Amino acid sequence: MTAPTLHPCGDSAISVDFGNVIDAGVNARVMALDRALAADPVPGVVECVPTYRALLVQFDPLATDYDVLCARLLTLATAPRDAEAAPRRWRVPVAYGGDHGADLDSIAAHAGLTPADFVAAHAAAVYTVMMIGFLPGFAYLGGLDPRLARPRRDVPRARVPAASVSIGGAQTAIGSVEGPSGWHLIGRTPARPFQPGRDPVFLFGAGDEVVFAPVSAREWDALAARAAAGDLVVERIA
């Protein structure tokens, strides 16, 4: 197994880099190292943050030796992986198109599909949460059907509704809080991926799986009311 590259990030973090691509195999190695460090904590390690292709390992430089930590990370990163436990899988309701997904018609036409066929293709996949980033709880998903990919918008929007489902390049994502975006809006979930004061604060985690369940605008309204009252409105199916 090819060893990753280690990059110091200041005096208290190391990026363990497994590649420079968005790839399921690369991301699986990132997640495996994250699990290994959780199962066998290394003294001095404070937090680990998985991304598409690297694991950022934050450490206390007064509690561990840099060279010793690097050697330990390389050992864990190249060790044979044990059988992985099945990931959490969530069924996430989404209202596609209309007021919830302003770009659905145009992105479907770009793909040579009707909006209905585009929605069916998007909802047919099982996605992996490859990382959380950009905004708190924003979930980047791997597994998009290549037919549905489209370059990001030439002119980003300054404000995108919270919990929008969007496509940018070869990626799809579930947004969290309202914010700017150059991605194409295809739908919106009534679920709240980030909710301060709730347990859990973050609904999705890196390594989780997601399947989308299309719902009507009326169903979305009812589910949104439940979410406002504290219901997660997603279903864990594995």
Domain ranges of the chain: 5-78, 89-236
Give residue 3's pLDDT: 87
- pTM, rounded to two decimals: 0.93
C-alpha span between 105 and 98 (Å, rounded):
9
Shared fold status for 5-78 and 89-236: no
The CATH-assigned architecture of domain 89-236 is Beta Barrel (2.40)
In contact, 152 and 103? CB cutoff 8 Å: no
Give residue 84's pLDDT: 73
Give residue 81's pLDDT: 77
Q: What is the per-residue pLDDT across 18-73, written as a single tens digit (0 to 9) for each?
A: 999 889 999 999 999 999 999 999 999 999 999 999 999 999 999 999 999 999 99
Matching CATH number, 5-78, of 3.40.50.880, 3.30.1360.40, 3.40.630.40, 3.40.50.720 = 3.30.1360.40
Taking 80 as the threshold, does the pLDDT of residue 191 lie above it? yes
Taking 80 as the threshold, does the pLDDT of residue 199 lie above it? yes
At 10, is the secondary structure helix, strand, or coil?
coil
Q: What is the per-residue pLDDT across 159-185, written as a single tens digit (0 to 9) for each?
A: 999 999 999 999 999 999 999 999 999
C-alpha span between 4 and 18 (Å, rounded):
5
| Long-range contacts at 113-118 (CB < 8 A, ≥ 24 apart) | 113/147, 118/148, 118/186
Give residue 2's pLDDT: 82
Give residue 128's pLDDT: 97
Q: What is the per-residue pLDDT across 105-160, written as a single tens digit (0 to 9) for each?
A: 999 999 999 999 999 999 999 999 999 999 999 999 999 999 999 999 999 999 99
According to DSSP, the residues that pair with 212 across neighbouring strands are: 92
